[in-house]
Amino acid sequence: MDILDYAFMQRALLAAVLVGITAPAVGIYLVQRRQALMGDGIGHVAMTGVGLGFLLTWSPVWMATLVSVLGAILMELIRWYGRTRGDLALAMLFYGGMAGGVMFINLAPTGSNANLTSYLFGSLSTVSPSDVTAICVLAAFVVLVTLGLRRQLFAVSQDEEFARVTGLPVRVLNLLTAVTAAVTVTVAMRVVGLLLVSALMVVPVAAAQQITRSFAATFAVAVAIGVSVTIGGTVTSYYQDVPPGATIVLLTIGAFIVLTALATPLARRRARARTAADAAGDPAECAIPGTREAADEVGV
């Protein structure tokens, strides 16, 4: 394959694989918490970090990571304490992040709107070796958190009050989820772009939920979809000369549509089997082998 003959494409494909793993791995917790648009908000804040990186001649990826982590923590604090005016505060944070990014990058000696566009929508040719190093380090952190603390994060995402009663540090875990989401945004911005990263965090999870019935299965299928669409979008972008971020998101939406279409007859079959089991007086689990929904949900 001639695509692997170019160093920039090797870096882009590696970055795409890491993004395909990390984005759904974090997104599944955001979906469970009904915070599907959190990644979009963090992406707006990360723009200020990109602009500061150019202004201070420091790595835009690391600066965006720092700023987005601070923004994510601030978002959580607003969620806890900003009961009446929280939505207004978040709006100012998001739009201020966008405005700050545009302002700083235009003030930077080496910055331009073209530089900003590559971070907003992704760019294969601009993934540098230093970017790959940063992405690998940040992706390792995301994977360790989302897998190592999956039981605790799942419990908090499902029911904060129950998790608090069981002794889990709910606020710490909420902050950790927000920080992990912020790190994921900066991992994905070189491939998908800051404005489109939220779709890759949410849509693969929504697609996986169409055909799975447990948290563990949803996690695995969502990551598989994420890796498939990021690789497919990157390869398509190379051969067809189309924007990588838009291509990846459109492929992700296509996967959602296909799985939704496949899930409809499956859901009908399950409903008929459940009805037959009820008529026979059997437990619902007998009609659908391997269900064990509650056990699977706990045993993530």
Is residue 142 within 8 A of residue 180, CB to CB? The reply is yes
pLDDT per residue over 213-228, tens digit each? 888 999 999 999 999 9
* pLDDT by 10-residue block (mean), the chain, 300 residues: 81 91 92 83 90 88 92 84 66 85 84 74 80 90 92 88 88 90 88 86 92 90 95 91 89 94 75 68 46 44
Instruction: Break the chain down into helix, strand, coil percent, rounded to 5.
Output: 80, 0, 20
Residue whose C-alpha is closest to residue 173's, from 187, 162, 186: 162
216-232 burial: b if 16+ Cβ within 10 Å, else e: eebbebbbbbbbebbbb
Is residue 209 within 8 A of residue 24, CB to CB? The reply is no
Element (H or E) spanning 192, and its range?
none
pLDDT per residue over 94-133, tens digit each? 888 889 888 888 888 876 666 777 888 887 777 888 888 9
Query: Which residues have CB under 8 Å from 139's CB, separation 6+?
Result: 18, 19, 21, 22, 187
Query: Which residues have CB under 8 Å from 224's CB, separation 6+?
Result: none
| CB neighbourhood size of 160 (10 A) | 16
Q: Give this prediction's pTM.
A: 0.82
Which two three-digit tokens encode residue 72? 């994510």
